Amino acid sequence: MTAPGSGSGYEGTAGVSAPWWRHAWVVVLAGGIVMGLALGVRHVQGLFLLPITSEKGWSREIFGLAMAVQNLTWGIVQPFTGMSADRFGSIKVVAIGLVLYALGLYGMATATTPTGFVLTAGVCIGVALSGTAFGVIYAAVGRLVAPERRAWAMGMAGAIGGLGQFIMVPAAQELLGALGWKASLTILAVTMATLLPLAIPLKESAAGVAHPNIETVPEQRATEVVREAFSHSGFWLLNLGFLACGFQLAFVGNHLPAYLIDKGMSPKDGVGALATIALTNVIGIYVCSVLGGRFRQKYLLSGLYLARTSVIALFLLVPLSRVSVYSFSAAMGLLWLGAVPLTNGVLSRVFGMRYLSTLFGLVFLGHQLGSFLGVWMGGYVFDTTRSYDPIWFIAMALGVLAAVVHWPIDDRQILRAAPGLAPA
């Protein structure tokens, strides 16, 4: 049995130092890079909307449907991916996710029919994201780093991931301008495949079972923990709040560039908006992670959703200009993925770390249901009304709802008297 280390995640038996790839900074860096590029490629998919639909002669609803299926697939598969990571180890799940991501991007570039496009861009990449994004990465980092450094580690992994998203925006735009959308997607596919070695530092001893950095609790089966969560009202309130989060982020991330072009702004403004969101997200996710280690996460979540809704309202009220676009993007970025470590924090606070991947996957299903609705309804409503205004108003209403439902969550730790017994 290993013991927590003060500066390197944990050390080997009898005080023997762990190998370099077990040190906390390596784990954080590897997890952050994988998560950053996985989310970064997803973040820039809105830049491909107009080039793909124009060349293929498809409607925006077809592209929106593929992205909606991607989000919904991600959400549906995430609980099972989380269970697999908890049982078999994160390294296998991350490696498979990277391979599927590469195949999905290549298939997206070579698809000749809307059905093929939906299957590759939607289903394949959706499954890939479930193994390479925060659901698995945050849980792995949390288990591999000593408890006293967990808030820092998750914050740093999220910040590195946000930086990866930021870098991906200008990179994707340069590729599109120089090589076109098909070659760009192929290069992104190769890039994802080259990340496979970064899964190695995320390998957990005994597939995460009885890990030294997991607090000692009476042993439970995954099914018992899931039943426990389903009977907890806070679990369902987190689901409802996360639905609003997914709706807002998917709509803005996929439709903001097209919205700005429709309003007479240049494609560069859309690229700049996404890049600004990604850049300020680096700061926002780190700050939210650190604050979550000091204050009640449920109250921080309520404040975050209320602030995000206010930012959207202000963006719609003021005259559209480059100043308003970049101000909106900077503010949204600060609030972009901060909800993820905070939601993780509530789950680990109530249910513990052992099955965090599984429980986050179940809560994340609500997020991805919202993402499906946000990206698909954005395309459908625009094709029907030639306006995105109804979706903006729905996004604000859901934000207010999310702020309200997080406040009463019972976030006290469940006390387990013995295996198989009901929580105290």
| pLDDT for residue 176 | 86
| pLDDT for residue 17 | 57
Rounded to whole angstroms, the Cα distance separating 77 from 84 reads: 11
Residue with tokens 């038996």: 13
Q: How many CB atoms lie within 10 A of CB 112?
A: 8
Residue 168 sits at φ, ψ, to 5 deg, of -65, -30
CA 384 to chain centre: 30
- Terminal-to-terminal C-alpha distance of the chain: 29
Instruction: Give Dmax (Cα) for the chain.
Output: 68
- Token pair, residue 386, equals 């030639």
> In whole angstroms, how far apart are CA 274 and each of 54, 79, 324, 333, 338?
21, 29, 14, 9, 16
Q: For all residues of the chain together, what is the average pLDDT?
A: 82
> In whole angstroms, how far apart are CA 374 and each of 72, 178, 207, 318?
11, 31, 36, 23
Signed CA dihedral, 122, 123, 124, 125: sign only = positive
| pLDDT for residue 317 | 94
Rounded to whole angstroms, the Cα distance separating 336 from 311 reads: 12
- Token pair, residue 338, equals 């901060």
Rounded to whole angstroms, the Cα distance separating 254 from 248 reads: 10
Rounded to whole angstroms, the Cα distance separating 52 from 180 reads: 10
Percent of the chain topping pLDDT 90: 24
CA proximity to 279, closest of 152, 159, 157, 138: 159
Signed CA dihedral, 355, 360, 361, 366: sign only = positive
Q: How many CB atoms lie within 10 A of CB 209?
A: 13
| pLDDT for residue 123 | 93
Which 3-state string (H, E, C) describes the chain? Answer: CCEECCCCCEECHHHCCCCHHHCHHHHHHHHHHHHHHHHHHHHCHHHHHHHHHHHHCCCHHHHHHHHHHHHHHHHHHHHHHHHHHHHHCHHHHHHHHHHHHHHHHHHHHHCCCHHHHHHHHHHHHHHHHHHHCHHHHHHHHHHHCCHHHHHHHHHHHHHHHHHHHHHHHHHHHHHHHHHCHHHHHHHHHHHHHCCHHHHHHHCCHHHHCCCCCCCCCCCCCHHHHHHHHHCCHHHHHHHHHHHHHHHHHHHHHHHHHHHHHHCCCCHHHHHHHHHHHHHHHHHHHHHHHHHHCCCCHHHHHHHHHHHHHHHHHHHHHCCCCHHHHHHHHHHHHHCCCCHHHHHHHHHHHHHCCCCHHHHHHHHHHHHHHHHHHHHHHHHHHHHHHCCCHHHHHHHHHHHHHHHHHHCCCCCCCCCCCCCCCCCC
| pLDDT for residue 323 | 93
| pLDDT for residue 314 | 95
- Token pair, residue 349, equals 């606070």
Using a cut of 0.85, tell me whether the model's pTM lies above it: no
Rounded to whole angstroms, the Cα distance separating 30 from 141 reads: 10
| pLDDT for residue 220 | 65
Given a cut of 70, the residues of the chain with pLDDT beneath it are: 1-22, 205-220, 222, 415-424
